[in-house]
Structure 1
Amino acid sequence: MKDLMGLMGKAKEMQAKFEAMQQEVASIEATGQAGGGMVSVTLSGKMEMKALKIDPSLFKEDEVEILEDLILAAHNDAKAKVEAVLQEKTREMTAGLPIPPGMKLPF
């Protein structure tokens, strides 16, 4: 019975840590770039786009597809950076817990 109570206590502690981490994650921002910095996208920890910057030299009628590709590449770069930060924070928080590999935590 003591083990069950200890487990329940750890679960409450973990829940509080997850809530704190979710608040921290909301404040994270990462900027991805493409085209040598000609296009940059900033995403929040919740993957919401916060900023988009495009070098004016890319606004040419015959280069629309290039601009579209650069925006997508910058977005994907920013997304990868946010996901890396989230993985690191999750790893720090769950250190020592027997969580199966590949288990996605609720974010």
Structure 2
Amino acid sequence: MKDLMGLMGKAKEMQAKFQAMQEEIANLEVTGQSAGGLVQVTLSGKFEMRALKIDPSIFKEDDVEILEDLVLAAHNDAKVKVEAEMQKKTSELTAGMPLPPGMKLPF
């Protein structure tokens, strides 16, 4: 019974840590870029676009499609960075826990 109480305590502690991690990730801001930094997109940890910066040197009337592609590329770069940061924080939190391979947290 003592082991069960200890396990319950650890589960509550882990739940609190996950909640704190989720709040930290939600407040995270990551900037992705394309075209060598001419287009930059900043996303929150919830993948909300917070900022978009476009260098005026790439504005040309006939190049709208290129600009659209660059914005998408910068957004995708920022998204990959947010996902990597989430994975890093989750790995730090679960370090030492005997989890099955491939199991992703939070559930």
TM, length-normalised to structure 2: 0.91
Residue in structure 2 matched with residue 69 of structure 1 by the alignment = 69
Alignment RMSD: 1.4
Query: Following TM superposition, by how much is the alpha carbon of 1:105 offset from its aligned partner in structure 2, in angstroms?
Result: 1.8
Calculate percent identity across the aligned residue pairs: 79
Amino acid at match of 1:62: D
Which SS does the other structure have where 2:51 is aligned?
strand
1: CA distance between counterparts of 2:106 and 2:87?
Answer: 12
CA-CA distance at 1:102 after TM superposition? 2.2
For 1:14, give the aligned amino acid.
M
- What runs of 5+ residues in structure 2 fail to find an aligned partner? none
Deviation, 1:61, is 2.4
State the 1:55 CA deviation: 1.5
Segments of 4+ in structure 1 off by > 6 A? none
State how far apart, in whole Å, the 1-side matches of 2:29 and 2:46 are.
9
Which residue in 1 is equivalent to 2:3?
A: 3
Give me the TM-score of the superposition, normalised by structure 1: 0.91
Does the residue aligned with 1:36 lie in a helix, a strand or coil? helix
1:15 lines up with 2:15 in the alignment: yes
* Paired residue total: 107
Deviation at 1:100, TM superposition (A): 1.9
1:51 paired residue number = 51
Is 2:44 aligned against 1:38? no
For 1:71-90, what aligned pairs fall within 5 Å after superposition?
A: 71-90=71-90
What stretches of structure 1 of length at least 5 have no aligned partner? none
SS in 1 for 2:19: helix
